[in-house]
Each structure stands twice: as C-alpha cells, then as structure tokens.
C-alpha cells in the first residue's frame, strides 16, 4: 500500500506558518487527508487485486483450437452442446458447470480487454480522480505559502511576529498597562469613545506639540524603579525590532498580493468543489457490479459476448459516496471562507480594541496585506495582534528609547558635562542624543540647558524640578512639551535660543512664554515668512527685550514692530540678503542696541537717526562706501558705540567731530587711507580700532584722547608714531603690529597701565629698555618676535616673565 506520507510535499509548510491557518484551513486540511487516504486506498486496491472477472455467455462444441475458425462456419454456435460423456476412469472426479475450452491466458486476455472496452471510465479511474482532486485541493490551500511573491512576505512576517511575541519589552509594556488602576482605564476608554464622534473635536489637554510631529500621551517619563527590568542587550534587540516592524509595514502596506492570492485560491477550490459534485453525482451510478461486455474477439477466443464482474464496484460505490460527503463538507467550508473574505473588510485593520485595552492610544490602523495578515492571526489567537501592536506604537518606541537613554545617561555622567557658559550660567550641553534623559531633571542646580541635533525631544512636567533654570537652547531639535512643563517655562524661562532648518520647526509654544526676555532665532525665513506668517504672535511676549534674527529676511517683519514698545536690543544678521524698507525702525523708540550685519546696505539707513535712545550701532559686513550721513548721528545724544567695520569705506568725513558722545569707534577692515584730525575731537573715545586699512600717518592730535584705553592700527602702512600718542596714559592695549615701523619711542614707558602690546611684523631692530617701566605688561601680553624680545635687558625680560 502507498504510504500517505509520500504526498506530504504537496501540503508541507513551515511549522511556524500554522499561525496563519484559521480553523477552516485546518479543518479542510484534515478533510484533504481523509480524501487522500480514500484515493490512496482505492489506487492500492486497483494495483494489488484483480480489476474484473469475465465469463463467456455461450459455449462452443469441443474441438481442437486450431480448427475453430473453420468450424465456426458450419456449426450453429447458438445451439448449446450436449454434455460430454462420462469418463471411463472410475478415479476421475466429475466437473460441474459448462466447459468453455478456454485456457488461463485467454481468460486474462478477455478480462483485460473487457476492462478497457466495456467498463465505464469513471469506475476505472475513480481512485485516481480522487487522488488528483485531493492533491489540487492541497496545492490550492498552501499555494500562497509557496509562491515567491507571497512566501517571502509571510516568512518575514512570521519571523518578526515571533520575536515581538517573545520580546521582554512586549511583556513589560503590557504589564505596565495591566497594572494601572481600573478606574483610570475606564476613564481612558470613555475619553477615546467621546473622541470617536465626528461632532466633537479631539483635543489634547496634556501636550503642546509642534506641527511636524505626532502627539505623545501624557505618561511618558519612564519609571526609574523599573528601569532595570530590561538589560542593555534586550533593549537593543527591542529597538531593532521597532525598526524591522517599520520597514516591514512600509513594504507590505504597498500592495495586496497576499489577500489576492488567498482569495483566488479559495475561489479555485469552490469552483473545483462544484465541478466535482456536478460530475460525480451523475457518474456514481455508473459504478456497477455486473458489466456486459460485447467485443468481437471470436477469432481469438471463439466468443464475443461476455458477462463480467467488477470486483471493486461495491467498495468503490461506497467510497464514492463517502468521498462526495467529504467534498460537500469541504466545499461548504470554502463557501464560508468566501463569505468571510468578502463580508468583512480585510484590507483594513483597526487596533481600536487594543488601544482601549492597553491605553496605548497611538497604535495606527493598518491596511492592505498587513491588515489581512493580522486578520488571519486573529483567527488563530488575538493575543498575537495585541502583542504585535506594541511595536507599532510610537509611544512604546519612545518609552523604550527613553529607558535605554536613562540607563546610559546617569546623573553622575551628566554632572561631568556641566560647564559655565559665556553668560556665567551653569550649563548642560547635550548633543546628538536619541532623546532627552529624564535624569537631566534631577540636576536641580542647572541654569542653562542646551540641546543640539536631538530628535523627538519630550519636555515632561518634571522640568519643574529645575527651579534655577533660566535659559533653554534648542538647536535643530524637534520638541514636544507637556502642558505642565509649559506652565513652568512661562513663569521661569528668560532666554530662549532656537536654531532651525525650516520655519515650521519653530515651536509654536514659544509665543506664549510671557516672561521671556531674550529670543534668539537662527534659521532660514523665506520671503513669505517675513510677511507675518510665522512671527505674528511675538506681540504676546510682553517682556521681550532682546531679539536676534539670523536669517535672510528682505524686510523687518511687522511682528517685530509689534514688540517695539519694550524691545531694547535687536540684532539682524541677514547672511547677505539685501534688507530694504527699514522705515519700521522708527517705531522702535526704546531701542538701545542695533546690529544690522551682512544686510547689503549701501547707505546708512535714515530711519536709524530717529532712534533717540540708541546707544550702540553695528553695521558690520555691509557695502558702505560713503558715510556722509554720519552727521545725523549728532542727534543721537546717547550713542556711545559705533561700529562700521568690514565695509568699503574710503574716508572718514570731517563732521564726525560732532559725535562727541562716542566712546567706542571701530573702522577696521575698510579702505581708509587718511585719518582726519577732526576725528580726535571726539575726546571721549576709549576704544579706537583702525586696523586692516591703508593708513600711512597718525595725526599728533591723537594725544587729545586722554580717555583712550584701546588703540589698534594693526595691518596698515604706518611708518612712525607721533610722540603725542604716549600722552594717552590710560592706554591699556596698543596694537601696532604689521606696519612699517622701525623705531619704538622710549616714551612708551609713560604707559604705566599697558597690559597688551603688539609690535610683531614691523622693522624694529631693538626694543627700548623703557618698556620695563610698563609694570603691568607681561610676556603673555607682549606679542613680539622672540629674537627681538631678547634685545631687552635680562632683568626686564625676567620682570615680564614673572607672574
């Protein structure tokens, strides 16, 4: 007998695939095995036993077999022969029945030819048909497991599913939910149900989020008491699983080949069932025990009418009825499968019940083949989908990242990164992390928090523990903030710095920081943005005093003008974009400091002359050539600092003398050749920088500047210094390097307060020993060639080297 195991390859699939076999597929698989056994049993009987037994209906007269052909013409074959005479031998046993005078080979020949010619084809091939149909059923049921386009997706899905099911992170995430208070769960479910009605707009009362990011539930801070539940290896494995699930979802949701393949093979099975029932019902009666065989083989056997007995007829008849019953059950199951396929929307899968049960509200619904696979999994065990859903949740992924982050960045490790920033605040810089560690909020002495290139930053309510926090820097970070954290920042945050690549990354909550005093924005603001699209809400920053825009705006936004009543300092660094229409500056009557850097200005804007409170003006890196308008600065009585450096100014007009309030004047990096003596009538100047020009001569009137403390003519063409320079006895910094000087006057010893002297790059051969009278000058503040320094007496050198 043929073993059924020989047909295993037609239905064999990986054991893990059983999770994609719903009850009807399992049931039909068992039916297929039973039908296969029927076919194998029938085929075995066909092979091992006689198929048919035939006898002639008439008997010929006894004669030699060789004379039969001639005798057939003269003897009436229809007349029965008389019985043979009794044998003379008393020991011979009498034979009963009719003598046919046929040998065994002739009977075998008659049986074979009657089996082929007279027996109905259905009776002959019934077991083979059963076998073939059953194998087709088995192939159809498992074809989607074998087809290359679908099997690869199924294998990938089963692999990920098993890892997600067994992952310690899945168990932890669900156990945290199951440990919540039941009343809290009910409240969450009610909230979700209310949010599902279209008449109500869902609102997030616990989060303030940016436009480019999804919401995150309120409970985000990982409980540090359970932080050790996952070791580092398990955390990394779970992190890798999240990435695999994302890529698999993106790949599988693109098409519906799995769904189409399953539908087609089910439809094929239904059609096969109808065909089998149709022709089998009509042909089962053809399986008869007695068969009449009329074949003209009289020349070989002497007979042409035979009566045959189909030995398997009774058994085949019973097997066929059993087979039809099984096929009917199989077909009805397939019809139910079709009903299930078309009645339900299997290309969409909702995790609503999982969201309500687990409280993980951001589990997304899926579609196409991903949805179909999950529907199939639910027929096996819904727990698989529930555990798999954990790895579809951004909340769950962020919790895992947060857990790993907290384990990596302990409080002690963070304290090692503390430093004092330029504003003398205790600052913690964090760069390129996967998130913001919760341990940051345990450093209560922190004053400034600087975050750079960190995605998905979540500022939780625990930031309220940082009672000393005043400054926050967000450089290329996507930030979400808890409502309680926002309330804390509204009251405590004084300085906010935001660096962005796209204006949509600007956190919308920054406009509500009512106590904010300084705002620094670094990033590209397009032409449309300057027309009050993004910055229109600055008017709510009632305490804003300092504003920096390092961008590419073509004009000053109206939003900036809206805060002009209390704005005191404004810095615009325009990266070469021409700044026009500066009339709005006139409204900033309280402005004390103004920087217009790299704005492609060709003239000094007239609007500046209306800023009567202005104290400092910086027009660095513009395209100024003429500054005749400088005379209008005489109306700015409070103007003390004027920086016109990095321009193309060729001369200084004489009426600069009217700016008598100037204390700091910078003309470096221009093209000035001549210094007017009227410049030194601004006798309050304490800082004068004329470096990197083409100046050849210093007027002796410089001696009038008795308040001068800083003087620089580095990188000019000066050949000599007037002795009047040394009358400026308050001078602390003197930079005369990279000129054409050959002699340094001994009168330099009059500068008793000199702490920094640069002479390198000149043509000096010796240094005057009077430098020893400059008691405050040390070697570290003396920029000179080593060889030239050696020309000083040894005691002076030792004096300078001594701290």
Q: Which of 604, 598, 556 is nearest to 578 (CA)?
A: 598
pLDDT, one tens digit per residue, over 461-477 is: 999 999 999 999 999 88
pLDDT at 222: 45
**What are the DSSP calls for 229-271, one per residue?**
GS-HHHHHHHHHHHHHHHHHHHHHTT--HHHHHHHHHHHHHHH
- Kindly report, residue by residue over 756-799, the tens digit of the pLDDT: 999 999 999 999 999 999 999 999 999 999 999 999 999 999 99
What's the CATH number where 107 sits? Answer: 1.20.1440
Q: Which of 345, 376, 410 is the C-terminal boundary of a domain?
A: 345
Residue 89 in any domain: the answer is no
Among residues 322, 345, 368, the one where a domain terminates is 345
DSSP, residue by residue, 659-678: -TT--EEE--SS------GG
pTM, rounded to two decimals: 0.66
Pairwise CA distance, residues 645 & 668, whole Å = 5
Q: What is the mean pLDDT of residues 614-620?
A: 95
Tokens encoding 719:
């050949």
Residue 527 pLDDT level (bands cut at 50, 70, 90): low
Lowest mean pLDDT: which of 308-317, 402-411, 501-510, 554-563?
308-317
Q: Which two tokens stand for residue 32?
A: 């297929």
Angle, alpha carbons 229-232-238 (nearest 5°): 80
Radius of gyration for the alpha carbons in the chain, expressed in angstroms and rounded: 51
Q: How far is CA 245 from CA 27, 397, 548, 593, in A?
A: 31, 11, 43, 54
Res 229: pLDDT: 52
**Residue 219 is assigned to a structural domain of this protein:** no
pLDDT of residue 469: 93
pLDDT value at residue 235: 73
The label of the residue with tokens 């030239």 reads: 788
pLDDT at 323 over 60: yes
Q: Is residue 725 scored above 50 in pLDDT?
A: yes
Specify the pLDDT at position 6. Answer: 53
As a whole number of angstroms, the distance between CA 185 and CA 191 comes to 10
User: Is 120 within a domain?
Assistant: yes
d(CA 631, CA 508): 43
Q: Is the pLDDT of residue 613 over 70?
A: yes
Per-residue confidence (pLDDT) for residue 718, from 0 to 100: 95
Instruction: Provide the pLDDT for residue 163.
Output: 78
Q: Is the pLDDT of residue 391 over 90?
A: no
Residue 535 has a pLDDT of 58
270 in a domain, yes or no?
yes
- Going across the sheet that includes 207-208, the strands are 207-208, 479-482, 457-459
Q: Residue 794 belongs to what domain range?
A: 640-802
Q: If DSSP codes are grouped into helix, strand and coil, which group holds residue 487?
A: helix
How confident is the model at residue 563, as a pLDDT?
A: 84
Lowest mean pLDDT, pick from 226-235, 400-409, 561-570, 574-583:
226-235
**Band of the pLDDT at 310, cuts 50, 70, 90?**
confident
Q: Quote the number of domains for the chain.
A: 2
Domain assignment present for 411: no
Euclidean distance between CA atoms 116 and 651, whole angstroms: 122
Ramachandran bin of 453, using left for φ above 0, alpha for ψ from -120 to 50, beta for the remaining angles: left
pLDDT one-digit tens code per residue, 340-362: 988 888 888 888 888 887 777 77
Cα dihedral value 24, 28, 29, 30, nearest 10: 110
What pLDDT is recorded for position 564? Answer: 81
User: Could you read off the pLDDT of 488-500 as tens digits, one per residue?
Assistant: 999 999 999 999 8
Q: Is the dihedral of CA 412, 414, 420, 426 positive or negative?
A: negative
Take residue 502 and report the two structure tokens written for it: 């796209």
> CA-CA distance, 580 to 507, in Å (whole number)?
28
678 in any annotated domain? yes
**pLDDT-derived band of residue 698, with 50, 70 and 90 as boundaries?**
very high
Domain-located, residue 755 = yes
Categorize the per-residue pLDDT at 220 as very low, low, confident or very high, splitting at 50, 70 and 90.
Answer: very low
Q: What is the mean pLDDT of residues 43-72?
A: 59
d(CA 371, CA 357): 19
Taking the C-alpha atoms of residue 61 and residue 82, their distance in angstroms, rounded to an integer, is 8
Residue 372 lies in a domain: no
In the predicted structure, residue 629 carries a pLDDT above the cut 80: yes
Please report the pLDDT score of residue 70 as a whole number: 38
Residue 146 or 709, more confident: 709
Q: Which CATH number do you get for residue 650?
A: 3.80.10.10
DSSP SS3 for 697:
coil
| Per-residue model confidence (pLDDT) at position 14 | 62
* Ramachandran quadrant class, 502 (left: phi over 0; alpha: psi -120 to 50; beta: rest): beta
pLDDT tens digits for range 61-93: 444 443 333 333 333 433 444 555 444 444 455
Last residue of a domain, one of 323, 345, 367: 345
Let me know: does 501 contact 523? Beta carbons within 8 Å.
Answer: yes
- Look at residue 283 and tell me whether its pLDDT is greater than 70: yes
Write out pLDDT tens, residues 150-199.
878 888 788 887 778 777 777 776 766 555 444 444 444 454 444 444 43
Mean pLDDT, rounded, for 585-593: 90
Question: 550 and 521 in contact (C-beta within 8 Å)?
Answer: yes
- Mean of per-residue pLDDT scores for the chain: 81
The answer to whether 783 touches 758, Cβ cutoff 8 Å, is: yes
């Amino acid at each position: 007998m043929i073993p059924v195991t020989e047909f295993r390859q037609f239905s064999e699939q990986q054991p893990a695939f059983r999770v994609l076999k719903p009850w009807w597929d399992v049931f039909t698989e068992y039916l297929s095995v039973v039908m296969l056994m029927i076919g194998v049993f029938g085929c075995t009987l066909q092979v091992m036993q006689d198929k048919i037994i035939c006898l002639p209906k008439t008997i010929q007269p006894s004669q030699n077999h060789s004379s039969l052909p001639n005798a057939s013409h003269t003897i009436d074959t229809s007349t029965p022969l008389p019985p043979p005479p009794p044998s003379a031998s008393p020991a011979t046993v009498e034979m009963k029945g009719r003598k046919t005078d046929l040998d065994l080979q002739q009977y075998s020949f008659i049986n074979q030819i009657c089996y082929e010619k007279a027996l109905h084809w259905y009776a002959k091939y019934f077991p083979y048909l059963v076998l073939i149909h059953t194998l087709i059923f088995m192939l159809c049921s498992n074809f989607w497991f074998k087809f290359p386009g679908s099997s690869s997706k199924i294998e990938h899905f089963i692999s990920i599913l098993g890892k997600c099911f067994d992952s310690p992170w899945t168990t932890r995430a669900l156990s945290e939910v199951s440990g919540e208070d039941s009343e809290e769960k009910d409240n969450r479910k009610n909230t979700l149900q209310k949010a599902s009605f279209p008449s109500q707009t869902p609102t997030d009362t616990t989060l303030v989020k940016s436009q480019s990011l999804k919401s995150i539930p309120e409970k985000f801070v990982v409980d540090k008491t359970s932080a050790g539940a996952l070791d580092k290896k398990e955390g990394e494995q779970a992190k890798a699983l999240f990435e695999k699930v994302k890529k698999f979802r993106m790949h599988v949701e693109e098409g519906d080949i799995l769904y189409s393949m399953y539908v087609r093979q089910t439809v094929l099975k239904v059609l096969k069932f109808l065909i089998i029932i149709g022709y089998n019902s009509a042909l089962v009666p053809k399986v008869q025990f007695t068969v009449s065989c009329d074949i003209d083989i009289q020349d070989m056997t002497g007979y042409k009418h035979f009566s045959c007995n189909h030995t398997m007829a009774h058994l085949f008849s019973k097997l066929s009825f059993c087979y039809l019953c099984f096929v009917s059950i199989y077909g009805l199951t397939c019809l139910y499968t079709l009903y299930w396929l078309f009645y339900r929307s299997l290309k969409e899968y909702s995790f609503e019940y999982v969201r309500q049960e687990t409280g993980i509200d951001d589990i997304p619904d899926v579609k196409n083949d991903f949805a179909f696979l999950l529907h199939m999994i639910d027929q096996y065990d819904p727990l698989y989908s529930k555990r798999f859903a954990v790895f579809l949740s951004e909340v769950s992924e962020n919790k895992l990242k947060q857990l790993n982050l907290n384990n990596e960045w302990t409080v002690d490790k963070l304290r090692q990164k503390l430093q004092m920033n330029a504003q003398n605040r205790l600052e913690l810089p964090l760069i390129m992390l996967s998130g913001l560690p919760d341990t940051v909020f345990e450093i209560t002495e922190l004053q400034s928090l600087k975050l750079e290139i960190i995605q998905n930053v979540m500022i939780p309510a625990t930031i309220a523990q940082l009672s000393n926090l005043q400054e926050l820097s967000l450089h290329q970070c996507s930030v979400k903030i808890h409502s309680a954290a926002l309330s804390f920042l509204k009251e405590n945050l004084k300085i906010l710095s935001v660096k962005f690549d796209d204006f949509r990354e600007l956190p919308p909550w920054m406009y509500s920081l009512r106590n904010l005093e300084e705002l620094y924005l670094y990033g590209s603001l397009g032409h449309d943005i300057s027309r009050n699209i993004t910055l229109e809400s600055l008017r709510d920053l009632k305490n804003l005093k300092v504003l920096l825009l390092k961008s590419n705006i073509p004009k000053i936004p109206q939003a900036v003008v809206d805060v002009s009543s209390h704005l005191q300092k404004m810095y615009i660094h325009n990266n070469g974009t021409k700044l026009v229409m500066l009339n709005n500056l006139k409204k900033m009557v309280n402005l004390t400091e103004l920087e217009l850097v790299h704005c492609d200005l060709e003239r000094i804007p007239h609007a500046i002359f209306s800023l009567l409170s202005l104290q400092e003006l910086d027009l660095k890196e513009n395209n100024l050539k003429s500054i005749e308008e400088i005379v209008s600065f005489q109306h700015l009585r409070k103007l003390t600092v004027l920086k016109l450096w990095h321009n193309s100014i060729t001369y200084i007009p004489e009426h600069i003398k009217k700016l008598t309030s100037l204390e700091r004047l910078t003309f470096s990096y221009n093209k000035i050749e001549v210094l007017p003596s009227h410049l030194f009538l601004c006798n309050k100047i304490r800082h004068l920088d004329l470096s990197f020009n083409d100046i050849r001569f210093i007027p002796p009137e410089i001696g009038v500047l008795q308040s001068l403390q800083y003087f620089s003519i580095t990188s000019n063409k000066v050949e000599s210094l007037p002795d009047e320079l040394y009358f400026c006895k308050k001078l602390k910094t003197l930079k005369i390097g990279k000129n054409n000087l050959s002699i340094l006057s001994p009168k330099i010893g009059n500068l008793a307060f000199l702490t920094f002297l640069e002479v390198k790059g000149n043509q000096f051969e010796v240094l005057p020993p009077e430098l020893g009278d400059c008691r405050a000058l040390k070697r570290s503040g003396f920029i000179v060639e080593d060889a030239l320094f050696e020309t000083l007496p040894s005691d002076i050198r030792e004096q300078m080297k001594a701290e």
